[in-house]
Structure 1
Amino acid sequence: MSIKLFLCSLALTAAAASAVCAHSGGLNSKGCHAGSKPYHCHRAQQEVTPTAATPSNHAHIASSRVSVRDVDTIVVGGPPVRLNGVDGPEVSTYAGKQAREWMVSLLRGETVICKLNGERTHDRMVGVCYIGQRDIGALAISAGHALDCARYSRGRYKHLEQPSAQSRLGRAAYCK
């Protein structure tokens, strides 16, 4: 066994399978090999960290691997996250398809950070997600692709609702 392989194996074992053996190649600001094939990232793929001030089922997750189910549900590095307080149209509707396309465009190439509140709905965790300091739910509502769900947001997004969205999108019964 070569020294390099031995040291790499030792590091992998010591860090409970969390260490990664390094290889050459520069990383961009998101921790990815820009232009190399196969393209892959080393940082921000999925980090789940319980916060000290909250119970252990509350966490932050961050990932640059993000996919969109609809305007109020995104998949962040694996776990689906329901955007707390956001009432979006279903993707089976024209408005829902437009909203999903908008969200895909917004999140393309971005690292998303979600602050989870410990709640779950169906298969999803619930939380508020951000691109940098920008609240994704607030962006969707202010862009007219969703409405405030006051039952869960306590009205924090109400002032962002667009009059055209209020008349065009139906508010879910559970949000009234």
Structure 2
Amino acid sequence: MNVQKIKKYSFQMLHTRINPLFLKRVMRVFTLLSLISLPVLAQSAGKNSDECPAGVNKEPCHNEKSRSTDLNPRQTLKGVITRVRDGDTFEVNGIPIRLAALDCPEKNTFEGQYATHMAKKYTGANAECELTGAKTYDRLVGYCKVDDTDFGKMMMMNSACKVWEKYDIWNRY
């Protein structure tokens, strides 16, 4: 197809009249589908960096019980950091741990990405976590040392993470 034919075809498509009745039906279907999909979109809004549903305050989220972990609270968990979720959550031997009293920026911000990057440097390192007995969704909450260094303090000194005094239940910071 040469350029002249393309221009002529495009011009004809622009000036083709759409049947108003057809357009009205299409708009009704679109509106109906939009209304039907709203509840689904609201439920799938995602989670914030604390693994709480987006838009939910952190406090109620942190009071929920987890069904996925069989460890007893108030014990020490030792192992290797197998995965880092974000600046204040990692997994020790596959068990998710939310670092107590540490508040890192959301993962979708530059500061949150940097905090996650800093934490990921410790993947494979030895960790020792004193569990507080609290649970947040699938995560146990604890104060952790990584290679004998307080991980929370290290993150506060080297990233935008800060102490979350409300949840510093053992007054470590």
Structure-1-length-normalised TM-score: 0.53
Matched, 1:115 2:126: no
Matched, 1:86 2:97: no
Identity %: 30
Residue 162 of structure 2 is matched in structure 1 by: 147
1:66 to 82, 93, 102: 82
Residue 136 of structure 1 is matched in structure 2 by: 151
Deviations 1:46-98 (A, max 9, x none): xxxx8xxxxx5322111124211111111111111010000001111111111
Deviations 1:6-56 (A, max 9, x none): xxxxxxxxxxxxxxxxxxxxxxxxxxxxxxxxxxxxxxxxxxxx8xxxxx5
How has the CA–CA distance of structure 1 residues 108 and 124 changed in structure 2, closer, same or farther, with 3 Å as cutoff? closer
* Gap runs ≥5 in structure 2: 1-70
8 Å contact from structure 1 (residues 66, 112) kept in 2: no
Matched, 1:57 2:57: no
Q: Please give the alpha-carbon distance, in whole angstroms, between the structure 1 residues aligned to 2:131 and 2:148.
A: 16
Residue 99 of structure 1 is matched in structure 2 by: 115
* Gap runs ≥5 in structure 1: 1-49, 51-55, 158-176
For 2:74, the aligned partner's letter is H
RMSD across aligned positions (CA): 1.8
8 Å contact from structure 1 (residues 71, 145) kept in 2: no
For 2:114, the aligned partner's letter is Q
Structure 1 segments, 4+ long, off by >3 Å, are none
Q: Please give the alpha-carbon distance, in whole angstroms, between the structure 2 residues aligned to 1:120 and 1:81.
A: 9
For 2:142, the aligned partner's letter is G
Which structure has more RCO (C-alpha within 8 Å, separation ≥ 6)? Answer: 2
User: How many aligned residue pairs are there?
Assistant: 102
**Rg larger in structure:** 2
8 Å contact from structure 1 (residues 116, 126) kept in 2: yes
Larger helix fraction of residues: 2
Q: SS at 2:130's partner residue? A: strand
For 2:100, the aligned partner's letter is N
8 Å contact from structure 1 (residues 150, 156) kept in 2: no
Q: Please give the alpha-carbon distance, in whole angstroms, between the structure 1 residues aligned to 2:80 and 2:95.
A: 13
For 1:147, the aligned partner's letter is K
Q: SS at 2:105's partner residue? A: coil
How has the CA–CA distance of structure 1 residues 123 and 84 changed in structure 2, closer, same or farther, with 3 Å as cutoff? same
Q: SS at 1:89's partner residue? A: coil
